[in-house]
Amino acid sequence: METPGVTGYWNYNLGKALTNEVTFVYPIPGKNTFTFVGTLGGEFFTKTIDVQVNQLDVALDQDWYDLVSDNTAVGKTWVFDRQGPGSLWWFMSPGGNPEGAMTAWWNAGNDAPPVDAAGKMHFDLNGAANFSHYTTATSTPEKGSFVLDVANKRLMVSGAAKMLGSAAGNADGVYSIVTLTEDKMVLYLNNSEAYGTGWTFVFKAE
């Protein structure tokens, strides 16, 4: 962006650098392609560079390890935290505010569970930010990718794979992170496209 008249941003796969300088720890070993999207005031253009990460010698934010485990290439599997009849693991909640995520308006998991209630999902950083969705414990997975936005407490999934319980509705695959620890994850939708309310997802590490 030192060229006169050029403006734009870097897309480094896990986020966008919208300022003229940004510092981050990239968590995926291997060859990674970053893209510059720029303009001279008319049409946009793109340029790419390949960045080789041979070793993760700087610690990641703890949220990465909580999501994918300390062995980031192997990753971690998550399932719904179904503790028994009446437990809250997939339910309608107030819209527009993650602070109300654990207020249940309707225990849908108990009354009308999603088709993938007994399924699982897997996150890993084996060459890319990989996400796999299994409708059942033994079904063939659908593959996709994910972005963990630590600063804004968001988890985003994209590609063919959908988050467990996506029947609640979320076309853009963006979820607010309410809780993320080594063994528990609570995600929240501000506005379920299927129900027009908030929606809460409670998972545990398998």
N residues, the chain: 206
> For 18-22, 36-40, 59-63, 183-187, which range has the lowest pLDDT when averaged over its residues?
18-22
CB proximity list for 149: less than 8 A, separation 6 or greater: 14, 15, 155, 156
Query: Which structural domains are found in the chain, ordered by start?
Result: 7-53 (no CATH), 62-205 (2.40.128.280)
The string of pLDDT tens digits covering residues 145-172 is: 999 999 899 999 998 889 999 999 888 8
Upper half-sphere CA count for residue 152 (Cβ side, 13 Å): 12
The string of pLDDT tens digits covering residues 55-65 is: 888 999 999 99
Q: Is it the case that residue 1 has pLDDT exceeding 70?
A: no
**CA 171 from chain center: how many Å?**
13
Distance CA 85, CA 72 (A): 34
Quote the tokens at residue 144. 């996709």
> For 18-22, 24-28, 64-68, 198-202, which range has the lowest pLDDT when averaged over its residues?
18-22
